[in-house]
């Protein structure tokens, strides 16, 4: 029988044996405790594994034969049988007659095996070799390395690798801006000059990076540069008005430090006309209260609430009237104040546009899908 037919027979035996053994394992388990294929341990020495090794040891490196073990390795990895996937790819790399172009494919597959198994050090080593060699898989290897560095929170290495990839793929610039922000956050307090350079770099990479503007404003406030801080924070309104709520308190500090309360009022009024939000309207009501009294502020907020009801607005109206109420009215308002506060604490404040992940706090990288800058104020919190 020709060698190719022997290989096909051995491959059929390997797949069939693995399938039958998997079925038997599932039948032995109680119905509620069945395990997915990714949870099945690899039992070395089984006929399937022996057949697999024999097939790989006698692998013909012709293009027709190479695709089969590569497809089989991907299948094992998809099923969670990472030992078998790794075995296939490592045995293929041991073959001295493997064409160089195929060797690059196999190395990338092996790196993905290591990533799936959580072996970041081994994956990084293989991917770095791919990058250094500069083959056709170098860009993909760079992206995977960036992902590894992200998991390790090694932002310097992630940024350095991203800068290399930026020459080939300009669409990663917003991600690199986030790396700059991660580094700048660490330096805000102790190394403001270095932090300032990183934030300028972030805005050069992505002019719409709200995070960089927020951090820049905080940095300039720390150093007493109120005009610079105000300029950075006002920029957020042009970048993404939905995030202006995150800068309201800092904006108020800047305007007060500069003695420009009237400008603060004008800015809030203009922002409310173009892109209103519950928090923005509440902040405007608070400023009105300071300048014109609680009655005027309550009247303004009540009129607005008639047109655009919001829980945040109701909570603020109750709070404004609580101090002036007496007797049973105060008791009722105090109860309502506590209820609205509890409801506000339970609401979804932020949501990812990619995977729908919801959170109470703002995350610049989604914990669910790991995308950058996809979490924004949830629709329920933006008017």
Cβ burial of 379 (10 Å; 0-12, 13-18, 19+) is: exposed
Whole-number pLDDT of residue 47? 59
Q: Mean pLDDT across the stretch 144-162?
A: 96
Query: Taking 70 as the threshold, does the pLDDT of residue 63 lie above it?
Result: no
Write the CA distances from 269 to 116, 230, 235, 275, 300, integer angstroms: 52, 17, 16, 10, 12
Place of tokens 């995030």: 243
Query: Taking 70 as the threshold, does the pLDDT of residue 379 lie above it?
Result: no
Query: Taking 70 as the threshold, does the pLDDT of residue 67 lie above it?
Result: yes
Whole-number pLDDT of residue 70? 85
* Domain assignments of the chain as residue spans, ordered by start: 1-117, 245-346, 348-383
Query: Taking 90 as the threshold, does the pLDDT of residue 228 lie above it?
Result: yes
Cβ burial of 217 (10 Å; 0-12, 13-18, 19+) is: buried
**DSSP string across 219-234:** HHHHTT-HHHHHHHHH
Dihedral sign computed on CA atoms, order 38, 40, 41, 47: negative
Query: Taking 50 as the threshold, does the pLDDT of residue 42 lie above it?
Result: no
CATH number for the domain formed by residue range(s) 245-346: 1.25.40
Angle between helices 311-322 and 278-292 (to 10 degrees): 20
The pTM for the full model equals 0.76
pLDDT in tens, 259-274: 998 899 899 989 888 8
pLDDT in tens, 168-189: 999 999 999 999 999 999 999 8
Least confident segment among 180-194, 227-241, 302-316: 302-316
pLDDT in tens, 90-138: 888 887 888 888 889 999 999 999 999 999 999 999 999 999 988 899 9
- Annotated binding-site residues read 352, 355, 366, 369
What are the counts of helices (DSSP H) followed by strands (DSSP E) for the chain? Answer: 18, 3
Query: Taking 50 as the threshold, does the pLDDT of residue 26 lie above it?
Result: no
Dihedral sign computed on CA atoms, order 29, 33, 34, 37: negative
**DSSP string across 299-312:** HHHHHHHHHS--HH
Write the CA distances from 279 to 117, 145, 198, 285, integer angstroms: 45, 40, 30, 10
Whole-number pLDDT of residue 62? 59
Facing residues of 89 across strands?
A: none
Question: Using 50, 70 and 90 to split pLDDT, how confident is the model at 29?
Answer: very low
- Joined tokens for residue 99: 């064409």
CA angle, residues 179, 185, 189, in degrees to nearest 5: 150
311 or 109: which carries more pLDDT confidence?
Answer: 109
Q: Other CB atoms closer than 10 Å to residue 129's CB: what's the count?
A: 14
C-alpha 35/C-alpha 21 separation (Å) is 13
Query: Taking 60 as the threshold, does the pLDDT of residue 246 lie above it?
Result: yes
CA atoms within 13 A on the CB side of 233: 26
Whole-number pLDDT of residue 234? 96
Q: Mean pLDDT across the stretch 222-240?
A: 95
Query: Taking 80 as the threshold, does the pLDDT of residue 166 lie above it?
Result: yes
- Helix/strand/coil (H/E/C) assignment for every residue in the chain: CCHHHHHHHHHHHHHHHHHHHHHHHHHHCCHHHCCCHHHCCCCCCCHHHHHHHHHHHCCCCCHHHHHHHHHHHHHHHHHCCHHHHHHHHHHHHHCCCCCHHHHHHHHHHHHHHHHHCCCHHHHHHHHHHHHHHCCCCHHHHHHHHHHHHHHHCCHHHHHHHHHHHHCCCHHHHHHHHHHHHHHHHHHCCCCHHHHHHHHHHHHHHCCCCHHHHHHHHHHHHHCCCHHHHHHHHHHHHHHCHHHHHHHHHHHHHHHHHCCCHHHHHHHHHHHHHHCCCHHHHHHHHHHHHHHHCHHHHHHHHHHHHHHCCCHHHHHHHHHHHHCCCCHHHHHHHHHHHHHHHHHHHHCCCEEECCCCCEECCCCCECCCCCCECCEEECHHHCC
**25 alpha-carbon distance from chain centroid:** 38
- Annotated binding-site residues for Fe cation read 352, 355, 366, 369
């Amino acid at each position: 029988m020709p060698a190719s037919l022997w290989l096909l027979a051995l491959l059929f035996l390997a797949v069939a044996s693995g399938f039958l053994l998997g079925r038997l394992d599932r039948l032995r388990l109680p119905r509620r405790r069945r395990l997915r294929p990714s949870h099945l341990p690899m039992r070395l020495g089984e006929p399937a594994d022996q057949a697999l090794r024999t097939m790989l040891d006698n692998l013909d490196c012709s293009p027709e034969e190479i695709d089969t073990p590569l497809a089989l390795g991907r299948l094992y990895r998809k099923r969670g049988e990472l030992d078998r996937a790794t075995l296939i790819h490592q045995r293929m790399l041991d073959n001295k007659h493997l064409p160089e172009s195929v060797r690059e494919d196999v190395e990338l597959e092996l790196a993905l095996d290591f990533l799936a198994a959580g072996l970041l050090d081994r994956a990084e080593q293989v991917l770095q070799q791919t990058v250094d060699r500069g083959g056709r898989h170098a860009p993909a290897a760079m992206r995977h390395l960036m992902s590894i560095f992200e998991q390790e929170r090694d932002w310097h290495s992630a940024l350095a690798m991203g800068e290399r990839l930026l020459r080939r793929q300009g669409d990663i610039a917003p991600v690199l801006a986030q790396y700059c922000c991660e580094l700048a956050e660490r330096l805000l307090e102790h190394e403001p000059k270095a932090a300032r350079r990183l934030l300028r770099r972030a805005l050069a990479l992505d002019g719409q990076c709200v995070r960089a503007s927020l951090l820049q404003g905080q940095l300039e406030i720390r150093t007493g540069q109120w005009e610079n801080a105000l300029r950075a924070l006002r920029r957020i309104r042009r970048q993404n008005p939905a995030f202006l709520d995150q800068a309201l308190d800092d904006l108020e500090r800047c305007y007060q430090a500069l003695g420009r309360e009237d400008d603060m009022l004008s800015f809030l009024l203009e922002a409310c006309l173009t892109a209103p939000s519950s928090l923005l309207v509440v902040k405007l009501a608070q400023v009105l209260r300071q300048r014109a009294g609680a009655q005027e502020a309550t009247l303004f907020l009540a009129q607005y609430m008639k047109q655009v009801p919001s829980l945040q607005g109701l909570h603020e109206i109750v709070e404004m009237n609580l101090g002036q109420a007496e007797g049973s009215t105060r008791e009722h308002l105090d109860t309502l104040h506590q209820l609205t506060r509890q409801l506000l604490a339970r609401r979804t404040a932020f949501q990812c546009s990619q995977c729908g992940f919801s959170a109470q706090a703002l995350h610049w990288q989604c914990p669910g899908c790991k995308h950058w800058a996809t979490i924004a104020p949830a629709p329920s919190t933006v008017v």
